[in-house]
């Protein structure tokens, strides 16, 4: 039986990755930090099938011990302070977790079990003020937030440990991927939740920031397979993972309202500058040619289908509470 360690198991991707690996017959370990309230909502349905180990990306000691004890064949480093606005209000903490957390994990692997294959969750936010359209593995980086800068450190230190110590360490440069398990502070889920609440008469307005921003949005479930495939290759290398389509926040909102039969969607939206960022990423779109060719991966879920899944899930959830 293969063993995998997932950091960030309580997050959106960690929960889907745990399900994905359990279905493939893995023994799954999940790293989780101590909190005063329960954070296992997304994995409550599989909690008895996985082993939770307590550790924190800011604590080297816990990470090294976990890797030494578990000796996982695969490590998926999905933990991060992942919300871009919080990286502006807590830039140093974001650097500690999202940047230095990666080298702590790599050091734990190098010292504790160098045979482990390591996946780093890199991000399209590293392209930031995009130097090229669409963005591929060869596009120069230009991050626009402390989060993007921290991810860039995580990306390069992964490349560096691969080249310096011959670790099987790869970086997946994932574009935005969403689901009903997305945190409600991210724009897609904020919209799907608000649309459901507005439809049910529980909310009047949806207050957004820059609705002209464009993103390459995919369905999170589709991305788990790409991450796994990267660790099944003979050669460790990095990949861009995205759909190759881009849409504005405005378009997302319009289609989300359409799912519940509201066509005068603009009447419900208010733009407020408090949601604007000090520096914005205007346009992201993936060139996924390499992933298609080498991993034989491609996204399965369309933009419309993704919105439909998210809005319907929130309608069901909001009808219950």
Please report, as ranges, the residues that interact with ligand NDP according to CB under 6 A.
Answer: 7-8, 10-14, 33, 35, 39, 56-58, 78-82, 97, 121, 123, 174, 176-177, 183
The 263-292 contact track toward ligand GDR, x by CB under 6 A, reads ------------x-x--xx-----------
Among 32, 74, 124, 125, which one carries the catalytic annotation?
A: 125
Q: Cα separation of 295 and 178, whole Å? A: 21
Among 113, 147, 153, 219, which one carries the catalytic annotation?
A: 147
Whether 87 is catalytic is no
Token representation of residue 132: 């090229």
70-109 burial string, b = 16+ CB within 10 Å, else e?
bebbbbbbbbbbbebebbeebbeebbbbbbbbbbbbbbbb
List the beta strands (DSSP E) in the chain: 3-7, 27-32, 51-54, 74-77, 117-123, 168-174, 177-178, 206-208, 214-215, 218-219, 239-241, 247-248, 269-271
Shortest Cβ distance from residue 277 to ligand NDP (Å)? Answer: 16
- CB of 8 or CB of 299, closer to ligand NDP: 8
Q: Phi-psi region for residue 244, left (φ > 0), alpha (ψ -120 to 50) or beta?
A: left
Shortest Cβ distance from residue 51 to ligand GDR (Å)? Answer: 26
CB of 77 closer than 8 Å to CB of 30:
no
Of 21-29, 39-47, 192-200, 211-219, the segment contacting ligand GDR by CB under 6 A is 211-219
Shortest Cβ distance from residue 180 to ligand GDR (Å)? Answer: 15
Whether 119 is catalytic is no
Among 82, 87, 122, 123, which one carries the catalytic annotation?
A: 123
Among 169, 249, 259, 291, binds ligand GDR (CB under 6 A): 249
Among 78, 84, 108, 315, binds ligand GDR (CB under 6 A): 84
Q: Which helix (H) or strand (E) holds 228?
A: helix 220-232
Shortest Cβ distance from residue 81 to ligand NDP (Å)? Answer: 6
Whether 147 is catalytic is yes
């Amino acid at each position: 039986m293969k063993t995998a360690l997932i950091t960030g198991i309580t997050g959106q991707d960690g929960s889907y990755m745990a399900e994905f690996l359990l279905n493939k017959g893995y023994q799954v370990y999940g790293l989780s930090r101590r909190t005063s309230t329960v954070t296992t909502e997304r994995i409550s349905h599989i909690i008895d099938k996985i082993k939770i180990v307590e550790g924190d990306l800011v604590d080297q000691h816990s990470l090294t011990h976990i890797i030494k004890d578990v000796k996982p064949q695969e490590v998926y480093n999905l933990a991060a302070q992942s919300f871009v606005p919080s990286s502006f209000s807590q830039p140093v903490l974001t650097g500690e977790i999202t940047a230095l957390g990666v080298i702590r994990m790599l050091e734990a692997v190098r010292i504790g079990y160098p045979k482990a294959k390591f996946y780093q969750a890199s991000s399209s936010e590293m392209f930031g003020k995009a130097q090229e359209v669409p963005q591929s593995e060869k596009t120069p980086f230009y991050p626009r937030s402390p989060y993007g800068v921290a991810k860039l450190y995580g990306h390069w230190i992964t490349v560096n440990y691969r080249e310096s110590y011959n670790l099987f360490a790869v970086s997946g440069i994932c574009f935005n991927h969403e689901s009903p398990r997305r945190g409600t502070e991210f724009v897609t889920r904020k919209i799907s939740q608000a649309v459901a609440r507005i439809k049910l008469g529980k909310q009047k307005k949806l207050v957004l920031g820059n609705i002209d921003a464009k993103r390459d949005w995919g369905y999170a479930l589709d991305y788990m397979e790409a991450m796994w495939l990267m660790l099944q290759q003979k050669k460790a290398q990095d990949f861009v993972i995205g759909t190759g389509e881009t849409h504005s926040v405005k378009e997302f909102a319009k289609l989300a309202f359409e799912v519940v039969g509201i066509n005068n969607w603009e009447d419900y939206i208010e733009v407020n500058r408090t949601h604007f960022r000090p520096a914005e990423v205007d346009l992201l779109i993936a060139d996924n040619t390499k992933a298609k060719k080498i991993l034989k991966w491609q996204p399965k879920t369309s933009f419309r289908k993704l919105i439909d899944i998210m809005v319907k899930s929130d309608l069901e959830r909001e009808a219950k509470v």
